[in-house]
Amino acid sequence: MLWRKLARHASVLIATVLLGGLLSAILVRLAPGFDVDELQLDPRLNAESIHAIRESRQGERNILRFYFHSLERAFHGDLGTSLSLQQPVSTLLRERGPLTLRLVGMGLLLSWTLAMAMALSAAWLRIPAYDALSTILSGAFLCLPAAVLALFAVLWNVPGSLAIALIVFPRVYRYARNLLAKAYSMPHIIMARAKGLSELRVLFWHVVPVVAPQLLAVAGVSVSIAVGAAIPVEALCGFAGVGQLAWQAALSRDLPLLLNITVLVTLVTLLANSSADVIGHVLGGRQA
C-alpha cells in the first residue's frame, strides 16, 4: 500500500515538474514582450547588431522544440547557459543553492518554533487576552507584504532567515492554533487533563497523534511559502541565492535560467508536499 502511494506520488511529481517547466516556458514565450530585449534599446547599437541580437533568440521561438531540446540536454547534465550572466546554469545553481537552502531552512525552523510555542501556550493557558494578543501579532505580520518585511530586515540589519520566518509564521500559527484548540477540546483530552496527567504527557500521547497529519500537511505548504518568500528577501537584502537569481532571470528575460529555476522550485515544493503526505500516511497507518 505504501509502495503504491510512493509510486503514485513519484509519477505525479515527475509529470507535474515536466509540465511545470513547459508551462513556464509557454507563459514566458506567449507573454507580450518576449522579443523585447533591453540590449535592443541601446542607442549605440546599429541596425546590424540589433538584427544579430534578434537572430540569436530565433532558437527559442519554437517553444516545444526549445523545451524538449533543453530536457534532452538536462538528462546529460547540461542545464544550458544563462543568457544574462553568461555562465552555465548548473554552476549558478550550485553556487547559490546552499545559501537559499540555509535561509529557507533556518526561516522554517524559526517560524515553526515560534508558531508552535505560541499556539501551544495559547492552548495550555486559555487566557483570552493572551489568545487575542497572539492573534493580533500574527494578524499584523499577515497584513505586511513580504517585500516590506525584507526591507525592514535590511533597515534593522537582521538576518534574512528571520524575515522569512516572520512571513511564514502567521500562516503556520493560525492553522496550529486552530488545530490545537480543537484537539484540546476533545473529550478524551479534557478527561486526561482532569485526571491530572502532566501537560507534556497529554501533548505527546494524546494531542500530537491527533494533530500530526494536518500539521504535516501545513509543513508541506509552509515550504512553498518559504521558497516564495526567499525571492523578495534575497532580492532586497542582497543575498546571492536562487531567489535573487530568479528575480534577475525574470527581469532580464533569461529563458534557460528561468526554466531551470521553475523546474527546481516546482520540484522542491512538490517534494515537500509529497513527503508530508507520505509521512502523514505512515503515521496514520501506525495509529490505525
Partner 1 sequence: MRVLYKNLWRRAACVLLLLVAGVSLSADWLAPEGYAREYREETSAPPSRQHWLGTDEIGRDRFARVLYGTRISLLLAPAAALLSTFMAAFIGGLAGHLGGAWARTAMAVTDLFLAMPWLFLLITVRAMMPLNLSPMISVLITFLLLGMLGWTSAARVLCATAGSLRDSDFVRQARASGIRSSRLFWIHVLPNLKPVLYAQFWISIPVFILSEANLGILGLGVAEPMPSWGSLLKELEGLISIGDEPWKFVPLVLLVIVVTSFQLVLSDQEQVAA
Which residue, 59 or 285, is less far from partner 1 as judged by CB?
A: 59
Based on the shown chain and the rule CB under 8 A, indicate whether residue 115 belongs to the binding site for partner 1. Answer: no
101 binds partner 1 (CB under 8 A): no
| 246 belongs to the binding site for partner 1 (CB under 8 A) | yes
Q: Does 145 bind partner 1 (CB under 8 A)?
A: yes
Nearer Cβ to partner 1 (13/279): 13
- Residue that has been written with the C-alpha cell 503504491 in this structure: 4
Contacts with partner 1 by CB under 8 A: the residue count is: 45
Q: Using the rule CB under 8 A, is 142 a contact of partner 1?
A: yes
As to burial, measured by CB atoms within 10 angstroms (0-12 exposed, 13-18 middle, 19+ buried), residue 74 is: middle
User: Is residue 236 close enough to count as binding partner 1 by CB under 8 A?
Assistant: yes
Cell numbers linked to 14: 515527475
Is 176 one of the binding residues for partner 1 (CB under 8 A)?
Answer: no
Q: How far is the CB of 166 from partner 1 (least distance, A)?
A: 14
Least distance to partner 1 from the beta carbon of 97, Å? Answer: 16
Question: Counting contacts by CB under 8 A, is residue 196 touching partner 1?
Answer: no
* Residue among 168, 229, 245, 276 that touches partner 1 (CB under 8 A): 229
Residue 140 interacts with partner 1 (CB under 8 A)?
Answer: yes
Regarding 274 and contact with partner 1 (CB under 8 A), the answer is no
Task: Work out whether 32 is an interface residue with partner 1 (CB under 8 A).
Answer: yes
CB atoms within 10 A of CB 99: 18
Give the Å distances, CA to CA, from 182 to 66, 119, 262.
Answer: 51, 12, 38
Binding site for partner 1 (CB under 8 A): 16, 19-20, 23-24, 27-28, 31-34, 36, 38, 41, 139-140, 142-148, 151, 155, 224-225, 227-229, 231-232, 235-236, 246-247, 250-251, 253, 258, 262, 265-266, 269-270
